[in-house]
Structure 1
Amino acid sequence: MSKQHATQSPTRSSTVPESIKAASGFWFTAVGAGAFEAGLAVTDMLADGTASLADLAAGLGLRLTIFAMAIFMAVRLRQGANWARIGLALTLGVFGTLSLVIEPVRWLLEGHALGQAIADADAMTFVFAASRIVHLAAVLTAMVLMFTPTANTHFRARPRLSHV
């Protein structure tokens, strides 16, 4: 490396924007909320006896795989990898968000009343709902932050080979 290259300060395009770093943090929050929700669901199913251990193991295995993938991509996003941004947006931003909202939307479309559900809710329901709200808010916030003008400019300015 020449002295000129060694003494140059990083260009703006090589510094990961704060919005991308924050988005990564929100993805970590979403994973944490998802893990918490999974723990609540498992606890509830074990207490009710509504699922076999094989079903629980399969479900947890799938969730752990998704959580690991999300953490890996969030770390790579924080390091400035555009492929991680696209991967997170498509997998968790689109399909993950749908998985978070499809059951409540379906339930409402079936004619159930939200007010009655709140009146009938127990403490576990409120804790789960609060976690789901945090989870969804973290995903949506991360999605917005990953595609701010600053983030878009950063990724457009980077050479494609540096994202691997």
Structure 2
Amino acid sequence: MPHLVVPHTVRLAFALWMLAIATAILEVGTRLAVDPRGPLDAVLNSGAELTIRLSAFALLAVLATLMMRGSNIARHALTLLYGGLGTFSLIMEPASWLIGGGNVLAFATKADPVTWIITGSRIAHIAAVLGAVYFGYSGQAGAYFVHRRAKIAG
């Protein structure tokens, strides 16, 4: 059976998943770097959070790699875990703030550069995740995963 070429949309989805990891690391790193306790104390006092986040990043990288290799299960896991639950967790805080009467204009005028870095990385992260999910299912992606299943079964 001929070698299946990974479609452009699947490669793009993979790149966007990697971008999601990079933007998440930027957000966490920035937050830790400016912590009033100092970066070292912030890291030392964030052990559980960092362990969970690094584990989530590692799992995302593994699932994205498996997706690139044709795993439909990995593609669906990425969609449910990161595209669904992960995105929900990222939008809950700002949505609650808005519902509670948060003022976007006031926020924008008072935000310092660090806040803009954190906010921008969060927005870029969400966009990368949504893009990764979209491209993981668009174009030739569906046919690729069907052919990969057939190749494995055959």
Q: TM-score normalized by structure 2?
A: 0.88
1:144 aligns with 2:122: no
1:128 aligns with 2:115: no
> Deviations along 1:9-65, whole A, 9 cap, x unmatched?
43xxx32211011100100000011111111222233x257x876650110000000
1:34 aligns with 2:24: yes
Matches within 5 A, 1:62-73: 62-73=52-63
Q: Of 77, 83, 89, which residue of structure 1 is paired with 2:73?
A: 83
CA contact (8 A) 2:20 2:125 kept: yes
Where does structure 2 lack aligned partners over 5 or more consecutive residues? Answer: none
Residue 77 of structure 1 aligns with an amino acid whose one-letter code is M
Q: Distance in 2 between matches of 1:38 and 1:74?
A: 21
Residue 108 of structure 1 aligns with an amino acid whose one-letter code is L
The residue aligned with 2:34 is 44
Residue 87 of structure 2 aligns with an amino acid whose one-letter code is T
Question: Alignment length, in residue pairs?
Answer: 151
Q: Distance in 2 between matches of 1:81 and 1:59?
A: 29
Q: TM-score normalized by structure 1?
A: 0.83
1:61 aligns with 2:51: yes
> Deviations along 1:54-81, whole A, 9 cap, x unmatched?
6501100000000000111111112221
CA RMSD across the alignment:
2.1
> Deviations along 1:114-156, whole A, 9 cap, x unmatched?
0011111111101111111111111011010011141112212
CA contact (8 A) 1:20 1:80 kept: no
Rg (Cα) greater in structure: 1
Q: Distance in 1 between matches of 2:97 and 2:76?
A: 31
Residue 114 of structure 2 aligns with an amino acid whose one-letter code is M
